[in-house]
């Protein structure tokens, strides 16, 4: 009977067998989208009730508008610091997924025999 604990681990599966959408990645993506949905829903609620999440973005946008003589038009308008929160959540989960798949992305070179 062989003891599997003493067997060396395989570094990486061959490219044809690499599974990118494994359970960890699926769980991280689902969690990320739930949190992003909560951020966007709260931003929509704040916008519908004329609430402000005041941060420095509004001040900087006003200063830039005065200098450039144009009003800024964001792609997705999130009030206050909700945009920073959304990017932070997305970047955290992307980092977790890339870290989990690091060996799949950059396999160790095989030693020449």
What is the per-residue pLDDT across 50-105, written as a single tens digit (0 to 9) for each? 877 766 767 887 888 888 888 767 777 777 778 888 889 999 999 999 999 888 88
pLDDT of res. 54: 67
What is the 3 state secondary structure string of the chain? CCCHHHCCCCCCCCHHHCCCCCHHHHHHHHHHHHHHHHHHHHHHHHHHCCCCCCCHHHHHHHHHHHHHCCCCCCCCCCCCCHHHHHHHHHHHHHHHHHHHCHHHHCCCCCCCC
User: Where do the domains of the chain lie?
Assistant: 22-73+80-105
Amino acid 38: pLDDT? 92
Q: Tell me: the pLDDT tens digits for 3-61?
A: 444 444 455 555 556 677 888 888 989 999 999 999 889 888 888 888 777 667 678 87
Q: Tokens representing 113?
A: 């025999």
Give the per-residue pLDDT at 18.
61
What does the pLDDT read at residue 93? Answer: 92
**0.85 exceeded by pTM:** no
């Amino acid at each position: 009977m062989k003891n599997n604990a003493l067997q060396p681990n395989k570094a990486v599966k061959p490219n044809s067998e690499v599974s990118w959408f494994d359970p960890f990645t699926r769980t991280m993506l689902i969690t990320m989208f739930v949190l992003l949905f909560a951020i966007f829903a709260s931003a929509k609620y704040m916008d519908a009730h004329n609430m402000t999440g005041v941060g420095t973005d509004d001040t900087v946008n006003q200063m830039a508008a005065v200098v450039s003589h144009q009003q800024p038009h964001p792609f997705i308008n999130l009030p206050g610091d909700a945009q920073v929160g959304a990017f932070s959540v997305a970047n955290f989960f992307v980092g977790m997924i890339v870290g989990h798949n690091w060996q799949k992305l950059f396999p160790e070179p095989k030693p020449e025999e």
